[in-house]
């Protein structure tokens, strides 16, 4: 039997091939589409702008972030342990704490003996005494001698004279 060569022609039932495209129109499937700027475009664009405008590179630097210099040597700081805070003290408790202070008592004893205090001790003593006075006023425990005594019963005429003098002061204030 004689051998018959295969032909490259296909019959009507064979799958059709895609039409041929020119080489410059083809897109290779393996390569990625180009997106964005070219590599190094950040630097090239700034150099081009600087040459055209004559500006400095610092003003047109496209890099983001802080330009503050970073300190390279590390200094270890000691951690200060804070005391845990307890519940708030009431005014009575604060007053007792201030009055029982040994430094305050020793400084008051020195003053009673007639000795003079240095400037720091005097400032501290004045501060403590003012705190004690304010707490006493808040609690209503201030000395009775310092408070003015209760006024005697005043007659109606005296009250009326006081009221009229206040009215005159109000008129003077409004005129000014």
Q: Establish if 64 belongs to a structural domain.
A: no
Q: How distant is the alpha carbon of residue 17 from its chain centre?
A: 72
Q: Establish if 40 belongs to a structural domain.
A: no
Q: Establish if 119 belongs to a structural domain.
A: yes
Q: Establish if 131 belongs to a structural domain.
A: yes
DSSP conformation class of 147: S
Q: Is the dihedral of CA 149, 155, 158, 160 positive or negative?
A: positive
DSSP conformation class of 99: H
Q: Establish if 61 belongs to a structural domain.
A: no
Structural tokens at position 151: 């006024």
Query: Residue 111: is it exposed, middle or buried by C-beta count within 10 angstroms (0-12/13-18/19+)?
Result: middle
Q: What is the pTM of this model?
A: 0.35
User: What is the predicted pLDDT for the residue at 130?
Assistant: 92
Q: Establish if 153 belongs to a structural domain.
A: no
User: What is the predicted pLDDT for the residue at 127?
Assistant: 92
Distance CA 132, CA 108 (A): 14
Each residue's pLDDT tens digit, 55-105: 554 555 677 778 888 888 877 776 666 666 667 878 888 888 888 888 888
Range of the domain at 105: 91-139
Distance CA 122, CA 129 (A): 11
The Cβ-side half-sphere exposure at 176, using a 13 Å CA radius, reads: 5
Q: For residue 56, give Cα distances in angstroms to 49, 53, 60, 61, 63.
A: 10, 9, 7, 9, 14
DSSP-assigned states of every residue in 152-166: PP--HHHHHHHHHHH
Average pLDDT over residues 21-32: 76
Q: Establish if 130 belongs to a structural domain.
A: yes
Q: Establish if 115 belongs to a structural domain.
A: yes
Domain count, the chain: 1
């Amino acid at each position: 039997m004689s051998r018959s060569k295969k032909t490259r022609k296909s019959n009507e039932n064979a799958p059709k091939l895609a039409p041929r495209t020119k080489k410059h129109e083809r897109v290779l499937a393996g390569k990625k589409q180009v997106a964005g700027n070219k590599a190094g475009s950040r630097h090239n664009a700034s150099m081009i702008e600087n040459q055209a405008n004559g500006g400095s590179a610092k003003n047109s630097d496209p890099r983001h972030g802080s330009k503050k210099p970073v300190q390279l040597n590390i200094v270890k700081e000691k951690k200060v342990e804070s005391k845990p805070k307890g519940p708030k003290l009431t005014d009575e408790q604060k007053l007792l704490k201030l009055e029982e202070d040994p430094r305050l008592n020793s400084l008051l004893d020195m003053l009673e003996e007639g000795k003079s205090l240095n400037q720091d001790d005097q400032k501290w003593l004045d501060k403590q005494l003012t705190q004690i006075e304010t707490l006493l006023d808040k609690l209503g425990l201030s000395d009775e001698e310092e408070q003015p005594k209760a006024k005697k019963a005043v007659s109606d005429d005296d009250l009326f004279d006081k009221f009229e003098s206040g009215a005159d002061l109000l008129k003077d204030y409004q005129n000014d």
